[in-house]
Amino acid sequence: MQLYGIKTPLIRPGDDVAGVLVDAMASSGIRPQDNDIIVLAESAVATAEGRVVDLKTVKPSKKAVLLSKLYDTDPRKMELIIQESDEIVGGIPGVVVTITKGVLSPSAGIDNSNAPDGHVVLLPEYPKKSAARIREKLMAEYGCNIAVIIGDSRTQPLRLGCVGIALGCAGIEPVEDVRGKTDLFGKPLLITRRATADNLVSAAEIIMGEADEGIPAVLIRDAPATFITGSVDIPTISREGCLYFGCFEK
């Protein structure tokens, strides 16, 4: 499997992400091939879609003011967290733990980094649709099958550091069921499902970085993924079926 970082100019609201990628790949001598996968940073996609918010324009509610004191968070950002999240689960000073788009997420995925001073970037509103739209434009440009994943970074419980998570994808199966396959000793796997899209985002983030690298996209070639013609939702599970929530909600 090969990974190629795609360095681009600073992406701004209203930019055509697919067009930016085409120009950047041409400048770098990269040309997509059949079954290549392009992983995109969610902040780049969200910025292009106008999901950048000037905090001066946000009026916090009484609830936001109260919670901002509890979690030591800017009340304007707290208001956005309330609006963007499905549920607020808890938090620590500076971070609010939410469920957003069905996934456990710090501060509803709202990012202060890679945003102008006094601004924040929200998650893309419809990541699967964004991935599908960018994929269609790239396939039309290059005349080959391409998959697109929009990814973000998350922390794992009790582990230091970030790993990747897919928010939306098009062109591949995001999770592959490997139950029934056998291990090295011939025993059948009973519960294993491989989070292919998440693993590919993690691989891409090694090249993307988290700071001023200016590499919001990575092309992955020869990935062991199952390619499909359209897009499907990334599966979630119930709290009862979740290892972590299942432990603590009894």
From 97, 122, 147, the end of a domain falls on 122
For residue 77, give the 3-state DSSP assignment.
helix
What is the mean predicted confidence (pLDDT) over 192-207? 91
Answer whether 95's CB lies under 8 Å from 106's CB.
yes
- CB count in 10 Å sphere of residue 145: 16
Sign of CA dihedral 51, 54, 59, 62: positive
Total structural domains in the chain?
A: 2
Q: What is the mean pLDDT of residues 226-244?
A: 86
**CA 249 from chain center: how many Å?**
27
- pLDDT tens digits along 164-195: 999 999 999 999 877 777 777 777 776 777 88
Q: Is residue 234 packed enough to be buried (19+ CB in 10 Å), middle (13-18) or exposed (0-12)?
A: buried
31 and 153 part of one domain: yes
Residues 89-105, mean pLDDT to the nearest whole number: 90
- Give the model confidence (pLDDT) of 23-53 as tens digits: 999 999 999 999 999 999 999 999 999 999 9
| DSSP per residue, 168-237 | EEESB-SSEE-TT-B-TTSPBPSS-EE-HHHHHHHHHHHHH-SSS----EEEEES----B-SS--PPP--
pLDDT of residue 13: 94
Distance CA 141, CA 101 (A): 31
Q: What is the pLDDT of residue 240?
A: 81
Question: Is 77 found in the same domain as 27?
Answer: no
CATH number at residue 72: 3.90.1660.10
Residue 240 and residue 144 share a domain: yes
**Residue 48, H or E segment:** helix 42-48
The contacts of residue 125 (CB under 8 Å, 6+ apart) are 49, 51
Read off the pTM.
0.92
C-alpha torsion 156→161→167→173, nearest 10: -70
Q: What residues make up the domain containing 196?
A: 2-50+124-248
Mean pLDDT score, 217-235: 93
Closest CA to 21 of 34, 35, 7: 7
**What is the CATH classification number for the domain harbouring 184?**
3.30.1330.100
Tell me the pLDDT of the chain averaged across its residues: 91
Residue 7: both structure tokens together:
């360095």
What does the alpha-carbon distance between residue 121 and residue 58 come to, in Å, rounded to a whole number? 13
pLDDT of res. 176: 83
Identify the pLDDT of residue 131. Answer: 97
Is residue 114's pLDDT more than 80?
no
Retrieve residue 31's tokens. Answer: 């040309």
Judge if 133 and 18 occupy the same domain.
yes
The domain boundary, picked from 122, 138, 160, lies at: 122
Same-domain pairing of 45 and 57: no
CA-CA distance, 110 to 101, in Å (whole number)? 13
Same domain assignment for residues 9 and 86: no
